[in-house]
Amino acid sequence: MLAYPFGPLVEGTWVERRKRFMLDVALPDGTMITAHCPNTGAMTGLTNPGARVLLSVSDNPKRRYRHTLEAVEADGVWVGANTQNPNRVALALARARVAPFPAAGEIRPEVKYGKAERIDILVTGEDGRRTFIEIKNVHMLERPGEASFPDCVTARGAKHLGALADVVAAGDDALTVFLIQRGDCDVFRLARHIDTAYGEGFDRALAAGVRFAALRCSISPEGIHADGLIPILDGMTDVQLSQAARVAA
């Protein structure tokens, strides 16, 4: 399923990333431009000079940089690099009632809750029961066929897990979706060696009843395609994986 179409893109070559937000790119005709880099994280495995990149183009005259980084070629596949796109994809899939999102209910994006928290998607059923859905962008591949998250320490991510556990304790449902922006993986695993606190938070949230799902997407110049769910190997028992599959059905 094409969940998010890109529109017209420009291809170029990665030259240098500067100040996290700027990326120098060489166009095929040799022209050098600076593009906006919406990914402020480590971008582990994607920051290789000479790599092919895909850039979207804005016609907004008020923008400082017309081009935005959408994808980088790594390990022979396009990998999504725009961290705003996973929420767009997830919202489209939720509205289409695609697994692992709820099959019914009112859908609202970016809703405030708790102590200054903000949830990516809130689905409210006819019975008033709510499902709080957190989306996590995944691009890293540490081993062949195995996507992993996070690629750097994320205190904010660990905080979100605690907030979702509180949601479940209050009687609502909570779901974290690891949205993988590359199609060359078959399984997902936490990168506990990178952020032990996030791994511990995952364990506590899982024990509290927070559900987790890993959703693989393939990237092409056409856009972002939702391929479907893949197994989470870390911390998920066979029973929990079966439950996740039933929710997704």
| Residue 139 shares a structural domain with residue 171 | yes
Show the domain range for 27: 2-80
pLDDT(237) > 80: no
pLDDT(157) > 70: yes
pLDDT score for 202:
97
Structure token digits, residue 4:
């998010």
Q: Which amino acid, 36?
A: H
Centre a 10 Å sphere on the Cβ of residue 196 and count the other Cβ atoms it contains: 13
Do residues 19 and 31 lie in contact, with contact meaning Cβ atoms separated by under 8 Å?
Answer: no
Domain boundary among 80, 99, 123: 80
pLDDT(1) > 90: yes
pLDDT score for 238:
44
| Residue 75 shares a structural domain with residue 143 | no
| Residue 57 shares a structural domain with residue 104 | no
Domain boundary among 52, 80, 108: 80
pLDDT-derived band at 235 (thresholds 50, 70, 90) equals low
CATH number for the domain spanning 74: value is 2.40.50.580
pTM over 0.75: yes
| Residue 116 shares a structural domain with residue 219 | yes
| Share above pLDDT 70 across residues of the chain, in percent, rounded to a whole number | 94
With CA atoms as reference, report the closest residue to 131 among 239, 211, 207.
211
Torsion of CA 102, 227, 156, 69, to 10 degrees: -130
Per the structure, the count of domains in the chain is 2
Domain boundary among 39, 59, 80: 80
| Residue 171 shares a structural domain with residue 111 | yes
207-216: per-residue pLDDT in tens?
999 999 999 9
pLDDT score for 247:
43
Tokens 């290789």 sit on residue: 48
Round the average pLDDT of the chain to a whole number and report it: 93
Q: What is the DSSP letter of 115?
A: T
| Residue 54 shares a structural domain with residue 106 | no
